[in-house]
Structure 1
Amino acid sequence: MNKPIFLNILLSVALIALFSCSQERVKRNNEITRDINFNKSWFFSKIENDSVDDNKYSKTEFDHSKWQKVNLPHTANIEPLVVNDQWQGIAWYRKEFALKKSDSGKVVYVELGAAMQVADIWVNGTHIETHYGGYLPFSLDITNYVNFDQSNLIALKLDNRDNINVPPGKPIKTLDFCYYGGLYRNVKMHIVNPLHISNAIEAEKIAGGGIFVQYDDVSSDSAVFSVKTHILNKSNKPKAVGVQTEISDPDGKIVILRKSKIDSVTAMSDTHFKQDFVLKKPQLWDIDSPKRYTVKSYVFTEEVVDYLETNIGFRSISFSVNDGFLINGKKKYLRGTNRHQEYPYIGNALSDEAQYRDAYKIKQAGFDYIRLSHYPQADAFMDACDELGLVVMNCIPGWQFMGGEKFQELCYQNIRDLIRRDRNRPSVILWETSLNESWMEDDFIETSQKITHEELPGKYTYSCGWQKGFDVFIQARQHGGLNEYNDPEVGAIISEYGDWEYFAQNAGLDQPGFKNLLKEERNSRQFRASGEKRLLQQAMNFQEAHNDNQKTVAAGDGLWVMFDYNRGYDNTIEASGPMDVFRLPKFSHYFFQSQRDVQVDLKNGESNPMVFIANYWTDNSPLDVRVFSNCTKVKLFLNGDLIGVQKPDENEFTSHLKHPPFTFKLKKFTSGELTAVGLIDEHEEARHTVKTPGKPAAIKIEFDISGKPFNRESQDIVFAYAKIIDENGTVVPDFSGEVQFDLVGPATLIGQNPIKAEAGIATILLQNKKQGKIEVSAKSKFMNTNLFGEEKIN
C-alpha cells in the first residue's frame, strides 16, 4: 500500500474514534511542563570594553565562574537614589541548564518577559536571534540547539545604549524617564509536545495565535463570544487533533464544557479552532466588582497533549462625547493616574509581588484607572489590574520622538505584540497605539489604527492618541485640556494633569493668593519633607485641576503621576506624585482616597468610609485645618473638646467634586490631640487622630506588604521603613537625621545606607534570598539619645 494513503486511512480512523467521545472530559496528562521557572542561577557581568568579540562570552567553554551569580528579575546596575547619569552599556547573562533525556522529541521554548533593549541570544554557542525592544516579551524555539543528555548553555548580550531605531528612541539625556537595563522581568521555559498551543506573539497571526477570546456582545442577560485556539504541529506526521474548552465562573463552577470537531493538522503546519459560545446571565467584570472567569484549553489526541489557562472577564465598554465612558451600560467617570514602573535603586527589576503592591496602592488611593506611561508594563502588574478592578490605558513605547522607517516598523510591531499579549484582559479599555507627544504623520496614524483593529476586531476596541485619527482623543491639561474640545464623534479623556500646568504656570492659576507664592511653593512637585504648607498646596492644585476637568466632556482624567520617579534629562526626582518614590503617602493621597464613594467595598483593602486630617498639629502647623473625607459631615475635636461640625466646603474648586474637603478654622494652637470623626446620617463611620509630636524616643520598623505577603520562595523585594517616633508612638515629622539599617538573615539591603530620614521616616529596600529568619534593625541619634528599633519579617 502507498504510504501516504495508509497514513490517511489511519488518520481517518483516529478522527472517527476521537469524535465519538462526545462531550466527556478528556483524559488529563500530568506531564505537560509549561511555565518552568527559569529565573535562578544566572551569571552576570557588565562589559566595560565593548570591543570584546561576542564569540568570547557566547561560547560554552568560556569560564563565567568569576561573574556575579544572580537571580531574575535583575537590573544591570544598582543606581543611586537620584539618577542623573543612568548606566548604559553592554551586559551579559549566562545560564547552564539540563534537560531530561525523556523530554527528547518535545519542543523547548524560552520566553523572556523583557530584556533592555537590544538582545542577542546564543544557545550552546549558536546565535539564535537579535531582538529589538525592551518592554515586551519574546519567545524562542531552542529545540534544535539543545542537548537532552548533557549540559546546555544560554547566553544573552544586552545593549541598553541610546538607539534611535528602537522605541522610544529618544536619547536618555533628553528623556522624561529612564530605560534602566538588564533581564528585568521573568524568564520561563516551556517543554511541550510537538502538538501544542502556540505563543500568541511568536505565532505572528493577525487576530490569532495562542488563545484569543473575542466578544461579540456582552450584557447582564448574556455574553456572546468565541474562543480561538491556535495549534502548532511541529512533528513530521499529520495529527488528528481536537480542542476541549472548559470555562469556570468566579466561584470555580464549570459553566461551559465543549469539545471541538476533530481536525487533521498536517506535518509542520498549524490550524485555528474557533468555538462560538453563548453564556446566559454572566457575572460581569466591573471596576467595583472585577469578576473573572477561567478558560481552560485542552489539546487532545488520544489524551491531552497540551493545556493552557486564560483568565477573562465579561464586560461591555464604550466611549462617546455625550455619555463619556460606559461600562456594562453604566456611566463611570474614570478617576485615574499615570504610572512609571521603576523602584529606587533597582530600576525596573521589580518582583511580581512588588508589581501587585503598586497596583494595590493605586486602587487604595482612590483611583480606578491607570495609564501605563509610556511603555508596556509587566504581566504581574496587568494581572493585578484584572484582579483589583483597575482599568488600563495600555501604551506602546514613545515620548516626544519620531524616528525613521526602522523605528516606525518597530512601532507597528509593538502594537501587534502588545495587543497579542493583553487582548484577553478585561482591564484594558484603551490602547494608546500612538506616540506620546510626538508628531505623527497621517500615514503613521492610519497604519497604527488599521493594525489595532485588524488585531483586535470588535465593537469593544478603542485606540487613543493625542492627534486626530484615533478612536478616543487624549489631551494633557497643560496642552489646553478639553475646555474647548468640540468633536461630536470622538470621545475624549484628559491623559495628564496636576503637574506641568502649575510648574510652568500656563493653566489653572485661579486660586486666591497663588500669585503671591514662591515658585517652589506653588508647584505640585513637593517632597514629603517639603512641609505642611507645600504639601497642602500640592493637594489644592490637584483638587482645582480635578474639579476643572470634570466640567469638560472628558470621560476621565489621569493625574501626573502616581509615584515620584527619576528622569533621564534632569538631576532631581520628579516629585508630583501623591506617593513618593518609596511609596509613602503625601497629603494629596488622602484627597484622592476621599473621592471614592462609601458604598464601594474594596476586597482585601482599607475600609470605606474614611477621614484624614492633613495636619501634623505642631506649633508651626496651619490653623486652617483641612480634613479629607467621603462622609457627609465631620466633627473635629481638640483634646476631647468639640471644635465644630461641618459639611463639605463649597466654593469654585469644589463644584464638581464627589466629596469636597472640610476646612476648620482654628484660632490658636494648643498642644495635644486633634480628632476628626466622619458622620453619615449622624452616625460615626470613620475616625482619625493626630497628636502633637514630642521628641524622638525610638524607631519603629515596618515593612510594606500592601495586599501581598512577603514571598520567601522568590526574590521578592519590599520597602523597609524606619519611623522615628516619640514616646507616644507618633512619627516626628521634622526629624531628618541619618538612620543606619542593619540586617540578620538570608536577605540583602539595597540602597543608600545610612540615609537621612524624610519627614521622620527613612527607607531602604529589603530583597529576599532564601528561606530563613530575617530581622531588620535601624539606629540613629537625636542629641544625646540613641534611637533603636528592630523587627522580623515573616
Structure 2
Amino acid sequence: MFSMKKIILLFVAILSFTTCLAKNDTSVDGLFPIVSQGRQVWNFNPEWRFCLGDVANAESVNFNDSGWEVVSTPHCVKLEPAEASGCRNYQGKAWYRKHFVVPANRSEIYFEAIMGKQDVYINGKLATTHFGGYLPIIVDLDKFGLHKGDSCVVAVMADNSDDKNYPPGKPQYALDFAYHGGIYRDVWLIAKNDVFITSPLAEDRRDAGIFVHYANISTHSADVIIDVNVRNVSNKVRHLNIENTLVDSCGKVIKRVHEGIVIPAGQKSVSQKISLRNPKLWSPESPYLYNLVTRVNEGSKTLDGGMTKIGIRSIEFRGKDGFWLNGKKYRKLIGGNRHQDFAYVGNAVPNSQQWRDVMRLKNCGFNIIRTAHYPQDPSFMDACDELGIFVIVATPGWQFWNKDSIFENRVLDNTRHIIRRDRNHPSVLMWEPILNETHYPLEFSLKSLQITRDEYPYPYRPAAAADLNSAGVRDHYDVVYGWPGDDLKPNSPRQCIFTREFGEIVDDWYAHNCINRASRSWGEHPQLVQALSLAKTTGEMFTSTSQFIGGAQWHPFDHQRGYHPDPYWGGDFDAFRQPKYAAAMYETLGSKPVVNIANEMTPFSDSDVVVFSNCDSVRLSLYDGEKSWTLPVVHNQQYSAPVIFKGAWNFFEARNYSYVKKNWQKVNMVAQGIVDGKVVCTSRRMPSRRSTRLRLYADTMGKPLVADGSDFVVVVAEVTDDNGNVRRLAKEDVKFTVTGEGRIIDDGTINANPRAVEWGSAPILLRSTRKAGKIHIRAEVQFPGTHAPTPAELDIQSVPYEGSFCFIQQFNKKSSDNSSNITEKHNGTVLSAKEKEKMLKEVEQQQADFGISK
C-alpha cells in the first residue's frame, strides 16, 4: 500500500507532467519540451548586436561592435512602411553578432531561418555557409572546442540580395513577393548529452530523428509506429532504454512501450509500435492531438527526450472518387494561400502572430492553406495541427529555372529537408515539390516526385501536387492543379484536381487593376465589390464532381511584392490583419451560424444591402422594425451565397427620421439569421454620427502578449461617435504613447506613429519587453481641439516567458567606432521601360501557361 507521502509525490509528478503538456506551446527542432527532458533548450533571441550594411572584419572576436544597435530576433533588417512593394525594402548584406557564455557542453545554435545567403562564424572561424532563406541552419559548437563556461561570439552575415544560384532564384524586381532580410525566425541554443536523439536536418539523412507514421487506421483501431534514431558520441558502449508514451490531451497515459538497446559509438535506430483501440482521429472539424513523449533512458536517468504532438488520420486521393479522410469522402477543401510577411516588420513575425493568422483563417471557415511559395515558420505548422487546417507545403520557387545543376540540386535538397522538418505534422496533406509556374525539365519533375516517396515511404503519405501543364505531372503526380470543369473534359486527368489559386480577375498584367483587390483604406464600396467577386469565384469551387476536390484563394492577407509598386491588396485582411468585408463573407463557410451586414449606412453606402450568412434565411429590419424583409439563403454544399436586399437603404429616408422627426435613434438596421424558424444570430448597424472619441483595443484573439522581448500584438485605435459606432469616414492622425513594459515598433521613418486613420481605425504594433507587467497605451488625435475626438487609454498585461534565455546584457550607444567600415547597399535595380515591359510580359505569359487565367 502507498504511504501518504508517496501518494502526494505521485500526485505532484502527475500534476507537473500535465502542466508541462498544457503550458509549453513552442516546439524546437520538432520537439515540445517535457519535464526532465535530458537536453536543455535556451531562447537565443535576445541581445544581438546589429548593423545594416557590409562591415569589414565583423566576424572577428575582438571586433568593436559596441556602437551597433541591440536587437532581438525575430528581426527584420529594416522597418518598412505599410506599403513597401516595388523593391522599396532593403536588399544587401547585414551583420549580427552575439556575445554569450556557453551554458553547457555539446551545445548547438539552431536558427529556424535566415533570409538569403548566410555566413556564420564562431569565434572568428567560418562555421557554415548556407544558401536559402526558409529552412534551419544548425551550428555545432562542439566542433570548435567550446565547452561549458567558455566565452563565445557568434557572427552572422545575412545577405538577401538577388541570387540565381539557389531557390527561389528569381530577382526580386520580377517577383510576386519580397525577400525581406534578417534573422527573421527564432534562434535557440540546444545542449545535449553524449547520447541523444539525432536531428534529420543536422544529420542530413531520412532515418535520423523521430519519424511517426501509421498503419491500419480506422475508427476501431490504429497502429502508431515510432522510429527513433539515437547517436552515441561517447567512447564507450551504452545500455539504453528507448521509451515512448502516448498521452491523451488531458495528460492521461494511454500506453507505454519501451525497448532496450546496446549501442557503441555511432548511431542506431529503433522502431516501436503502439496499437490503439477506438482512436480519436484528427480532422479539420475535430483536430485531436495526442502527445507522444519519447525518452532515451540510461538506468533511471533520461539522457534525451521530448514530445511530438501527433494526429492520427488516414488520407486517400481516389481520383474520380475524390479525397477521402478517415475512411469517408471529405467535403470540398476550401482555403487560401499564405505569405508570411506583416506590416512594418517584413517576415519577422513572432509565434503568437503565426498562431493568430491560422486562427483567423480557421474563423473564415477555411480547411486548407497552401504555403506561398516556401515552407512557413514551425509555429505556423504547429498551429495548423492544433486548430485543424490542412497544409500544402511548397518548395521555394516561382517562375524561374536555372539550367546550372547547382540550382537544381539545391531545389531538390530543399524538398528533402522540408519533408524531414514537417513529416510528423498531421496537417500536412500535400507536398508541392516543384517550382511554381515554371518551365522545368521532365527529369527534374520526376526526381522531385521520387523524393516525396523516398522520404515518406509509408501509408497515408501526403500527396505530391503540381500544375497539370507542367512536365511529367499529368502522367505521374498524385494530385494535379487545375480548375473546376477540368474534371468534365474528354481528356480529364485521372487524379484528383485542386485549384492552387482562385479569385484573381486582373485587367492586364502591367496595371494590375482587379475587382478582387481593395485596400481597406478605399472604404466601403470597393471592399463590397471585392467581397462579392470573391463570393462568386468561391462559389465556383463547389460546382464540379468529386474529382475536383477544392481550391485555395489568392490571397487572404495583403502582402508586399517585388515587381509592382502596389502591395497585393486582395487580402480578406490587411497587412495589420484588420478584417475587410471579404473576411465576413468567408465566415459563412464555417459551421457556426453567422449573419454579417456589409453596409455602414453612410450617405455613400449602396442602396442594396448585402448580408453574408450561412443560416436558412435572413430577416432584415430597419427603423426599429418599421420596415422588414426576409429572404432565403441559397446554399451549395458548405457555400452560402450573399443575400441582397434590393433598395433597402435610402439616405433621405433615414435623414427624415434624424432631421425632421428628431428621432435619430430609430435609424438602425438589424439582420437576424434564422435556422429552423428560430433566430440564432443577430447583427446590428447604426449610422455613425460626429466623431467624438477614440477607442482602443488589443487584437490578442485570446493569446496574451508574452514578455520575451520579441512578441508583439496589434493595438487598434478606432474613431467613434457617442454611441460607440465606428466613424468609417473619419480623417485623423492618431498619436500613441506607451509606458510600462511595452514598446511601439517604429523608428520614426515609416509613418507608424502618428498613424493615419483608414476606414475608421489606426493600428500600431506593440512589442513586449522581457519583464512581464502592465503596459499603458494612450491614443490621441495629433491635432486636438474643443470638438476633436477625445483621447483613449488602455491597460494590458504581458505574461511571463516560461523558458530560459541565453545572453549577455548589451547596452546601446549613440555612435560606433566602426562606422567608417560600413558600406550600406540599398536595393536600387534600375530597369528601362522596355526591360520592365519585357519582364512583365514574361510574368503574364507564365501565368497564362499554368492556368491562372483559366
The answer on 1:770 being equivalent to 2:770 is yes
1:554 to 517, 527, 548: 548
Contact 1:547 1:656 in 2 (8 A): no
1:488 to partner: Cα distance: 4.7
The answer on 1:471 being equivalent to 2:478 is yes
1:121 to partner: Cα distance: 1.2
1:693 to 669, 688, 693: 688
1:292 to 289, 293, 313: 289
1:264 to partner: Cα distance: 2.5
1:544-693 superposed matches below 5 A: 544-552=536-544, 553-597=547-591, 608-641=592-625, 643-648=627-632, 658-666=639-647, 668-669=650-651, 670-671=653-654, 672-693=667-688
SS of match in other structure, 1:720: strand
1:30 to partner: Cα distance: 3.5
The answer on 1:761 being equivalent to 2:764 is no
SS of match in other structure, 1:416: helix
More displaced 10-residue stretch of structure 1: 215-224 or 638-647 = 638-647
Relative to 1, partners in 2 of residues 1:31 and 1:280: Cα closer, same or farther, differing over 3 Å? Answer: closer
**TM-score, scaled to structure 1:** 0.88
Q: Residue 94 of structure 2 corresponds to which residue in structure 1? A: 91
Contact 1:433 1:448 in 2 (8 A): yes
Relative to 1, partners in 2 of residues 1:149 and 1:720: Cα closer, same or farther, differing over 3 Å? Answer: closer
1:420 to partner: Cα distance: 0.7
SS of match in other structure, 1:785: coil
- Structure with the greater relative contact order (CA < 8 A, sep ≥ 6): 1 or 2? 2
Q: Residue 498 of structure 1 corresponds to which residue in structure 2? A: 503
More displaced 10-residue stretch of structure 1: 418-427 or 654-663 = 654-663
Q: Residue 18 of structure 1 corresponds to which residue in structure 2? A: none
The answer on 1:313 being equivalent to 2:311 is yes
1:423 to partner: Cα distance: 0.4
For the aligned residues, what is the CA RMSD?
Answer: 2.2
Q: Residue 814 of structure 2 corresponds to which residue in structure 1? A: none
1:748 to 743, 750, 758: 743
Q: Residue 35 of structure 1 corresponds to which residue in structure 2? A: 41
Contact 1:168 1:399 in 2 (8 A): yes
1:158-237 superposed matches below 5 A: 158-206=158-206, 208-237=207-236
Relative to 1, partners in 2 of residues 1:433 and 1:197: Cα closer, same or farther, differing over 3 Å? Answer: same
Q: Residue 128 of structure 1 corresponds to which residue in structure 2? A: 127
Q: Which amino acid aligns with 1:490?
A: Q
Contact 2:542 2:636 in 1 (8 A): no
Relative to 1, partners in 2 of residues 1:489 and 1:707: Cα closer, same or farther, differing over 3 Å? Answer: farther
Q: Alpha-carbon deviations, 1:359-405, whole Å to 9, x = none?
A: 11111122111111101110111111110001111111111111231
SS of match in other structure, 1:621: coil
* Structure 2 segments unaligned to the other structure (5+ residues): 1-16, 18-33, 655-666, 798-854
Contact 1:635 1:642 in 2 (8 A): no
* Separation of aligned partners in 1, 2:172 and 2:490: 34
Q: Which amino acid aligns with 2:90?
A: W
SS of match in other structure, 1:695: coil
Q: Residue 455 of structure 1 corresponds to which residue in structure 2? A: 455
Relative to 1, partners in 2 of residues 1:119 and 1:485: Cα closer, same or farther, differing over 3 Å? Answer: farther
* Separation of aligned partners in 1, 2:311 and 2:639: 28
Q: Which amino acid aligns with 1:537?
A: V
More displaced 10-residue stretch of structure 1: 529-538 or 108-117 = 529-538
SS of match in other structure, 2:410: helix
Q: Alpha-carbon deviations, 1:585-625, whole Å to 9, x = none?
A: 1111111101223xxxxxxxxxx211111100122211211
2:721 to 703, 718, 726: 726
Relative to 1, partners in 2 of residues 1:232 and 1:610: Cα closer, same or farther, differing over 3 Å? Answer: same
Q: Residue 13 of structure 1 corresponds to which residue in structure 2? A: none
Q: Which amino acid aligns with 1:471?
A: D
Contact 1:648 1:660 in 2 (8 A): no
* Separation of aligned partners in 1, 2:488 and 2:434: 22
Q: Alpha-carbon deviations, 1:410-443, whole Å to 9, x = none?
A: 1111111111111000011011111111112110
Q: Which amino acid aligns with 1:290?
A: P
1:63-142 superposed matches below 5 A: 63-83=64-84, 84=86, 85-100=88-103, 103=104, 106-142=105-141
* Separation of aligned partners in 1, 2:122 and 2:356: 35
Contact 1:452 1:463 in 2 (8 A): yes
Q: Residue 779 of structure 1 corresponds to which residue in structure 2? A: 780
Q: Percent identity?
A: 33
SS of match in other structure, 2:548: coil
Relative to 1, partners in 2 of residues 1:505 and 1:402: Cα closer, same or farther, differing over 3 Å? Answer: closer
* Separation of aligned partners in 2, 1:72 and 1:307: 26
SS of match in other structure, 2:416: helix
* Structure 1 segments unaligned to the other structure (5+ residues): 1-24, 507-517, 598-607
* Separation of aligned partners in 2, 1:29 and 1:687: 47
Q: Alpha-carbon deviations, 1:253-302, whole Å to 9, x = none?
A: 21121111x322222x1111111232111111111110001111111222
SS of match in other structure, 1:57: coil
SS of match in other structure, 1:492: strand
Q: Residue 335 of structure 1 corresponds to which residue in structure 2? A: 334
* Separation of aligned partners in 2, 1:315 and 1:590: 31
1:540 to partner: Cα distance: 1.6
SS of match in other structure, 1:594: helix
Relative to 1, partners in 2 of residues 1:505 and 1:43: Cα closer, same or farther, differing over 3 Å? Answer: closer
Q: Alpha-carbon deviations, 1:149-188, whole Å to 9, x = none?
A: 3311111111111110121111111110011111111111
Q: Alpha-carbon deviations, 1:748-793, whole Å to 9, x = none?
A: 2125222221111111211112333322222225886222222112
Q: Residue 707 of structure 1 corresponds to which residue in structure 2? A: 702
1:304 to 278, 302, 311: 302
* Separation of aligned partners in 1, 2:633 and 2:423: 43
More displaced 10-residue stretch of structure 1: 362-371 or 781-790 = 781-790
1:392-541 superposed matches below 5 A: 392-403=391-402, 404-461=404-461, 462-466=463-467, 467=470, 468=473, 469-475=476-482, 484=489, 486-499=491-504, 501-504=505-508, 523-541=515-533
Contact 1:635 1:643 in 2 (8 A): no
**TM-score, scaled to structure 2:** 0.82
More displaced 10-residue stretch of structure 1: 232-241 or 565-574 = 232-241
Q: Which amino acid aligns with 2:269?
A: H
* Separation of aligned partners in 2, 1:433 and 1:300: 38
Q: Alpha-carbon deviations, 1:82-121, whole Å to 9, x = none?
A: 1132101111111112135xx4xx4211111001121111
1:746 to partner: Cα distance: 3.2
SS of match in other structure, 1:637: strand
SS of match in other structure, 1:641: coil
Q: Residue 7 of structure 1 corresponds to which residue in structure 2? A: none
1:364-375 superposed matches below 5 A: 364-375=363-374
Relative to 1, partners in 2 of residues 1:428 and 1:29: Cα closer, same or farther, differing over 3 Å? Answer: closer
Q: Which amino acid aligns with 2:148?
A: F
Contact 1:167 1:398 in 2 (8 A): yes
Q: Which amino acid aligns with 2:451?
A: I
Contact 1:320 1:489 in 2 (8 A): no
* Separation of aligned partners in 2, 1:470 and 1:695: 60
Contact 2:340 2:376 in 1 (8 A): yes
SS of match in other structure, 1:591: helix
Relative to 1, partners in 2 of residues 1:38 and 1:531: Cα closer, same or farther, differing over 3 Å? Answer: closer
* Separation of aligned partners in 2, 1:143 and 1:44: 25
* Separation of aligned partners in 1, 2:494 and 2:631: 40
More displaced 10-residue stretch of structure 1: 374-383 or 615-624 = 615-624
